[in-house]
């Protein structure tokens, strides 16, 4: 940074340090000393903390490099330093040659003059909860891969059970698969293992689907896929226990809010957590974003594990939706508009997008009507993003202002939209010197 720039921009953080973190070494720049590097062992991290204290550093800027920053960040946080974790993309334009030494010096200079925007880091307990929830999601994704392996093994034997029943990994499907692995080949006996509803309505199709070429190598592949599926179900159950323990710890001293509802049923990947809805209502002090269409208690748990309970980090709902990657893009300089735009993909944004897809199938909600209106005009991708943003705004308002969500229904939404449309058309007509007047429509 040139001397002229230093004179113009005031010093905000006089005792600032900059840290560049790698897999093997960290580089530290302090105000009144040379750049030093330390190995990434715990003992060396402790030495680095003492080095920062000896130079009277109070605030530190560091890049969020992969997962390398997390361990040292936790040590610095415990030592009482104010740590500003920044996105590497925002500080990548380093003047001169690119090196770890110049990176940490540039970070310190920018942080000294208050030119860095800190990334959102949730509190410690939320981070713990987030680790378990993310690990659970990973196990669900890995288990889904082995469901595909089951499908492949069945197809290779020309067994079409997965085309007859809705989920091969359901209770009926798994009983049949385990019997096949155990040596059972009689379609009638395998049919008897299915749910009574399947037996009553799909008996003929199930029997036909279970006649195939039972080859040993494909049975072996099926056996391994089922064992892997069982393993990940066990891992998911263990994650559920850890999540339940953290929730109980966070809500131990909180009272159950009055007049809470029972919560909506969770159809897929329901966690085995005792009274999850009550635990979440205690955690949020009775605020219930899950009352919205498309959201369940599991969705609420996912979002809270990412953003925490205090959303005042984002000044308005516009800041929140922009951070989540759900705000409309605006790239303009003078008369030129950039064609290449940086797309933001966040875990929270993905959660709200999935909720928007679920809302799109809802026939009785106002959010569903909004989705279908946007989809008809702009297509499904824009409709998903717009609906996800609307859900995120409602979530923000509920969590920050305590507003209760009330479902107004499709009819009221359409009436409100018609009123807005009439106001807009009347305004445009007046601009052109015309007057908009209603006419009587005769229905034949």
pLDDT at 432 (0 to 100): 84
Number of domains composing the chain: 3
159 within some domain: yes
Four-residue CA torsion sign, 264, 266, 272, 276: negative
Do 237 and 279 lie in a common domain? Answer: no
What gap in Å lies between CA 276 and CA 269, rounded to an integer? 14
Of 205, 230, 247, the residue at which a domain comes to its end is: 247
Query: Rounded to whole angstroms, what are the CA distances from 102 to 27, 105, 409?
Result: 9, 5, 58
Compute the distance between CA of residue 183 and CA of residue 18 in angstroms, rounded to an integer.
65
pLDDT in the model for residue 194: 94
**Helical residues (DSSP H) of 157-289, grouped into ranges:** 161-164, 171-181, 187-191, 196-209, 216-251, 276-283
Nearest to 107 by CA among 92, 97, 119: 92
> Could you tell me the pLDDT band of residue 367, with boundaries at 50, 70 and 90?
confident
Q: For the domain that residue 39 is a member of, what is the CATH number? A: 3.30.420.140
Q: pLDDT tens for residues 115-166?
A: 888 889 999 999 999 999 999 999 999 999 999 999 999 999 999 999 999 8
Q: Is residue 82 part of a domain?
A: yes
Q: Are residues 294 and 353 in the same domain?
A: yes
Residues 231 and 139 in one domain: yes
- The verdict on 263 and 402 lying in the same domain is yes
Whether residues 107 and 195 share a domain: the answer is: no
Choose between 407 and 326: higher pLDDT: 326
Q: Say if 365 falls within a structural domain.
A: yes
Which tokens sit at 70?
Answer: 């997390």
Q: Is 184 inside any structural domain?
A: yes
Residues 224 and 265 in one domain: no
Is there a domain that residue 418 lies in? no
**Residue 106 shares a structural domain with residue 144:** no
For CA atoms 291, 295, 301, 306, the dihedral sign is negative
User: Helix 216-251 vs helix 124-156: angle between axes, to the nearest 10 degrees?
Assistant: 160
Q: What is the pLDDT of residues 330-366, one digit of tens each?
A: 655 555 555 555 667 889 999 999 999 998 887 778 8
Considering 61, 79, 112, which residue would you say is the last residue of a domain?
112
- CA distances for 431 relative to 250, 420, 422, 426, 439, angstroms: 58, 17, 14, 9, 21
Q: What is the domain range of residue 389?
A: 254-330+342-407
121 within some domain: no
For residue range 168-204, list pLDDT tens digits in order: 999 999 999 999 999 999 999 999 999 999 999 999 9
74 and 161 in a common domain: no
Whether this model's pTM surpasses 0.75: yes
Q: Which is more confidently placed, 416 or 167?
A: 167
Domain C-terminal end among 247, 281, 310 = 247
- Is residue 370 domain-resident? yes
54 neighbors 80 (Cβ within 8 angstroms): no
Considering the domain boundaries, does residue 117 fall inside one?
A: no
């Amino acid at each position: 940074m040139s001397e002229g720039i230093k004179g113009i921009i005031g010093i905000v953080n006089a005792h600032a340090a900059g840290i560049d973190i790698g897999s093997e070494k960290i580089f530290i720049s302090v105000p009144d000393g040379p750049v030093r590097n330390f190995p990434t062992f715990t003992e060396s991290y402790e030495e680095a903390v003492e080095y920062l204290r000896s130079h009277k550093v109070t605030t530190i800027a560091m890049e969020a490099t992969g997962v390398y920053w997390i361990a040292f960040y936790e040590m610095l946080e415990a030592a009482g330093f104010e740590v500003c974790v920044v996105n590497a993309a925002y500080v990548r334009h380093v003047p001169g040659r690119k090196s770890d030494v110049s990176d940490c010096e540039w970070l310190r200079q920018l942080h000294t003059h208050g030119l860095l925007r800190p990334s959102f880091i949730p509190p410690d307990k939320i981070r713990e909860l987030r680790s378990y929830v993310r690990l659970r999601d990973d196990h669900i994704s890995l288990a889904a891969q082995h469901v595909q392996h089951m499908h492949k093994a069945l197809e290779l034997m020309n067994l079409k059970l997965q085309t007859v029943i809705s989920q091969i990994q359901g209770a009926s499907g798994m009983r049949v698969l385990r019997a096949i692995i155990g040596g059972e080949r009689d379609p009638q006996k395998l049919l008897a293992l299915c749910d009574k509803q399947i037996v009553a309505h799909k008996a003929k199709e199930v029997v036909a689907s279970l006649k195939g070429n039972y080859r040993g190598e494909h049975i072996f592949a099926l056996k391994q896929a089922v064992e892997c599926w069982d393993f990940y179900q066990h891992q998911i159950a263990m994650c559920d226990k850890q999540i339940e323990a953290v929730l109980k710890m966070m809500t131990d001293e909180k009272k159950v809010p009055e007049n809470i509802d029972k919560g909506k049923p969770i159809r897929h990947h329901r966690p085995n957590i005792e009274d999850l809805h009550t635990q979440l209502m205690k955690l949020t002090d009775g605020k219930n974003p899950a009352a919205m269409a498309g959201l369940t208690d599991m969705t609420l748990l996912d979002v809270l594990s990412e953003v925490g309970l205090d959303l005042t980090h984002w000044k308005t709902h516009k800041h929140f939706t922009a951070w989540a990657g759900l705000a409309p893009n605006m790239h303009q300089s003078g008369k030129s508009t950039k064609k290449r735009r940086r797309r933001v993909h966040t875990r929270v944004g993905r959660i709200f997008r999935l909720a928007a897809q679920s809302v799109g199938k809802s026939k009785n909600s106002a959010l569903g009507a909004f989705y279908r209106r946007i989809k008809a005009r702009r297509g499904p991708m824009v409709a998903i993003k717009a609906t996800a943003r609307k859900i995120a705004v409602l979530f923000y308002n509920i969590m920050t202002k305590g507003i209760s969500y009330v479902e107004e229904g499709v009819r009221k939404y359409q009436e409100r939209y018609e009123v807005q449309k009439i106001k807009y058309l009347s305004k445009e007509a007046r601009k052109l010197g015309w007057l908009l007047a209603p006419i009587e429509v005769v229905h034949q």
